[in-house]
Structure 1
């Protein structure tokens, strides 16, 4: 089995197991490829490697189309050949945290794991407490996977972490399924702050109007998110699009690092899973 291929056709362990779509396997493969490459390459250069999983899930899921049980990103990150020295998982669903805890306990070896059962926004202080201490003798390099179910992602979380730690981010931007589908409602309701919090711009409606309401909604939001990350000093790799079976865009996986090596790893990961390298922002 390739390092990035999730474990599949697993037996039911009778713990909480949410449902996912077939297209989620592509996301898991890409995540797994990157974290495997990241730890193998960095373990000899950094004494501490931390993994942070936001919206971590339960570690396993049922694929709706096939009914098979597969291992998802959180448990895959623990099981890689060169594990991180610290793991922090955050999910507001207590069923996910309870199931993930039991599944991690069943993985051979010793793993330093903190599980936080809170909404991601409310968990920032807990994350900072759980993160390994950094000093000149105990260097710390971190990777954060942000995997929300919608575009309800508060950029303040990324700012709080990215400004404090040497941390790369892989972020799922639900720009097709959520933003494009519901954009008119988000735009017309001035009390809705979803887009503003996602792209770190409370005045985005005025800008959108000044641009003449262009139709390239997904491109606009994606570029605004890139700009927000750039203000923190991050560079972006090529976004990776994920489509459903009808070739409709669901979301982008976007990668950010402050170091060129991280971007090289991301490009290698995309190439490694034979990804589709061209996409349409419409």
Structure 2
């Protein structure tokens, strides 16, 4: 599958023709506007000669959806990164489309840990990198309202708005209430100095690494905590904009179960960069680690 819209905003060339050339026996389907990926994959696996590999040419959101469908239909996943950040692709060592194709030709398939997020009584959704509630989903929603500006400019405007409009979220965990700026739930153990865990650090660790940012500081520090680049974090820490360690709670567990209280924030959350609307009355969010939950092509090691 190819999502040719991924990466367009940062000027990346469409690599669909290269994929067709290097995989001449593959059935390549270019997703149309609003075309459901799940229906396309379901139709493919129902054919007499059903595929055993699902390849996805796209960004983090497309890769996440493809991973969920690969698990549903018992397929191997081939990641061909074509997005803005490509967090999961970088985690598995696939720097670009060519590296992904080389991984396929080498036949290096390996099971890795993933997670599943369940909201209320809905069906679980596969998670590759992280789930978040609070300040980051709000900022992402603000950015998506400004898609005409592009991701980078829209993101800058969204961050500026967050400095003025971000508000604390009420959560309940294990019967305890808390007011927080954000909650990040990463797949596998991650760098203890990071708060915004957009990219996973391990592949085989069947746990979730939770960072709860309690609402004890300013909006400025709440927004600063969303930095995920090492250099950005270092600069913000140097100028003392990053919140102190005492504002954070870390939990490493097989799962996390919490309630986002009604009226405390917009009923939205993010998984792997995908924004999800969940209703108007608060919601229950559960994230569970799944050992060896996905078979994926990795570069030869």
* Structure with a larger share of its residues in strand: 2
Structure 2 length as normaliser, TM-score?
0.29
Higher relative contact order (CA 8 A, sep 6+): 2
Larger helix fraction of residues:
1
